[in-house]
Structure formats: structure tokens, C-alpha cells
Copies of this chain bind each other. A is one copy, B any other.
Amino acid sequence: MRITKPRIAIIESLTRHEGPISIEKIHQDIGTEVCDLVTVYRCLSAFESLGMVRRSYLHNGTCLYELTLGTPRHYHIVCKACGKTDRVDYFPVESMERMLQDRGYTQISHVVEFFGICPTCQKNPESRQTSISGRRTSRA
């Protein structure tokens, strides 16, 4: 695995942005001139198979990526209007995983994500720049 400019930029972007982020957003975050969107796809795919990032399909079916390394137990609430993520520190999941172990499952992991309208967007409904909702279902 070689170290290249796009890869560094992608990792930096993932580090900076804590919480799951879409490929599109990563591309914009690092600057679209740094590399092609396809490269972002390929890099994340590579990172994933190395276990460096985690992929999750949240809510709307588009996939989001997140650094695996050193992520402590915390979650996020994503604003459905502006897309901003906020941290949710505590979530009682240990008992659930224990229960599933008792059922015979191994290598248990989970995805938890909250969605809502943040206080800011409630005050300024116009600030809803980035639609988070569906893929093409976004008309809903």
C-alpha cells in the first residue's frame, strides 16, 4: 500500500471530520482538484479491506465511511436539515452485545445513528443547504 497525496488527504479528512461521512463530502472536503471522485472510492475501498475504515449504510442507503482507528464508544446525531453531526457520548449497548453473545453470535459490531432537526435549523429553516435525506427519494 503506497502513500500518495490523495490517500493522505482522505485520511486527514476522515480524521478531521469525526463521525461517518459520505464519499462525496470527502471529495469536496479535500478539494476536488486533489483527485478524482473515483480515486476516493478506490482509496476508501482499499482502506476498508485493510480495516482502517468502516463503512455503514445509514438511513438513506448511501454509504458513509468512518475511521476505525481509536474510535471510542460514542455516536452521532445528524441533522436532517443541515447535515451537521453532533456527538452523543453515552449509549447503552454493552448489554445488547452481551445478549447477542448469549444467543451464539460472535464478532459482534453495531451501527447506531440518530437523526433529527438541530436547534439552529429550527430557527432558520433556510439554512437547510445540504439535504441529507434519501438518494433520489429526496423529494419526500
B-contacting residues of A (Cβ < 8 Å)?
45, 49, 56-61, 63, 77, 79-80, 86, 88, 91-92, 96-97, 99-100, 103-119, 122, 137, 140
Contacts and interface: CB of A to CB of B under 8 A. Distances in A.
Contacts of A77: 100, 105, 108
A113 B110 contact: yes
A56 B114 CA distance: 11
**Which of A56, A77, A105 is packed against the most chain B CB atoms within 10 Å?**
A105
**Which of A97, A107, A114 is packed against the most chain B CB atoms within 10 Å?**
A114
The copy count of this chain in the complex is 2
B106 A114 contact: no
B80 A88 contact: no
A105 B117 contact: yes
Contact of A61 (B45, B57, B110, B117): B57
